[in-house]
Amino acid sequence: MDKVCASAAEAVADIPDGASLAVGGFGLSGIPNVLIQALHAQGATGLQVVSNNCGVDDRGLGVLLAADRIARVTGSYVGENKEFARQYLSGELEVELVPQGTLAERLRAGGAGVPAFYTPAGVGTQVARGGLPWRYAPDGSVAVASPAKETRDFHGRTHILEHGITTDFALVRAWRGDRHGNLVFRRAAANFNPLAAMAGRVTVAEVEELVEPGELSPDEVHLPGVFVQRVVALTPTQAADKAIEKRTVRA
């Protein structure tokens, strides 16, 4: 039951080229930065990433992107990353844009064993009709476009079929966790982290504070250890290393 790994490097050592990854975080809040850095050092390439966004140019998943390690991104937000835009528009990167709530539910559904579900989000747009550019050709034409989605009416309203997402691995960050993999997320970090953790077949969690089994009350556990296979305890320095995309203060 002890799922603690000796290091982040050990925890990501078996992630192969071409693996699919669900990665927690929202912007730079709650990102598993230590695991991402370890994966960068490990060298896996051709990764297929599912995450709300792809970090910024020099932080988070942006580090893997700049090193040409990511082949495909499924996400909701592509701002704050110039290299992401360059690779996408030049045809180097395949991108599937998904409405944010739909992405969250697709991850949750995959983790819960729900293969697909209907939602009204995207009805009447290219999300439903298809034709969104997933990959551009070098000449600027669309090389790969999104397919049309199945529709069905419920109570007089049209819905589209969306598929649950499961991935080979998931990388997440938690505030507290025990050796059995039970996790507690703090404030804004409880964004896509629990959902990404559910979707991964092998989930690796970096925790700011590692506690012994029994120290966490069942009432405070946000994600039970059944969804987590590996735990990495961060050092105080690693736990305190948190970036802010845009800091705004009063004069």
Where residue 102 sits, what CATH number does that domain have?
Answer: 3.40.1080.10
User: In the prediction, which pLDDT does 249 show?
Assistant: 86
- Residue 140 inside a domain? The answer is no
Structure tokens at 10: 């050990």
- Residue 70 inside a domain? The answer is yes
Residue with tokens 């092998």: 202
- Residue 148 inside a domain? The answer is no
C-beta of residue 66 within 8 angstroms of C-beta of residue 54: no
C-beta of residue 39 within 8 angstroms of C-beta of residue 13: no
The per-residue pLDDT string of the chain (251 residues; one tens digit each, 9 = 90 and over) reads 899 999 999 999 999 999 999 999 988 889 999 999 999 999 999 999 999 999 888 889 999 999 999 999 999 988 778 899 999 999 999 999 999 999 999 999 999 999 999 999 999 999 999 999 999 998 999 999 999 999 999 999 999 999 999 999 999 999 999 999 999 999 888 989 999 999 999 999 999 999 999 999 999 999 999 999 999 999 888 888 888 777 788 88
**Tally of structural domains, the chain:** 1
- Residue 65 inside a domain? The answer is yes
User: Could you give the CA distance from residue 119 to residue 157 in angstroms, rounded to a whole number?
Assistant: 10
- Residue 54 inside a domain? The answer is yes
Domain region containing 13? 8-115+164-240
- Residue 19 inside a domain? The answer is yes
DSSP code string of the chain: ---B-S-HHHHTTTPPTT-EEEE--BTTBT--HHHHHHHHHHT--SEEEE-S---BTTBTHHHHHHTT-EEEEEES--TT-HHHHHHHHTTSSEEEE--HHHHHHHHHHHHHT--EEEESTTTTSHHHH---EEEE-TTSSEEEEPPPPPEEEETTEEEEEEE---EEEEEEEEEEEETT--EE--GGGTTTHHHHHHHEEEEEEEEEEEE-TTSS-GGG-SB-GGG-SEEEEPPHHHHH----SS-----
DSSP bridge pairs for 136:
142
Degrees to nearest 5, angle at CA 12 with 175 and 20 = 95
- Residue 188 inside a domain? The answer is yes
User: In the prediction, which pLDDT does 80 show?
Assistant: 76
Which residues neighbour 12 within 8 Å (Cβ) at sequence distance 6 or greater? 35, 38, 39, 42, 44, 169, 171, 204
- Residue 130 inside a domain? The answer is no
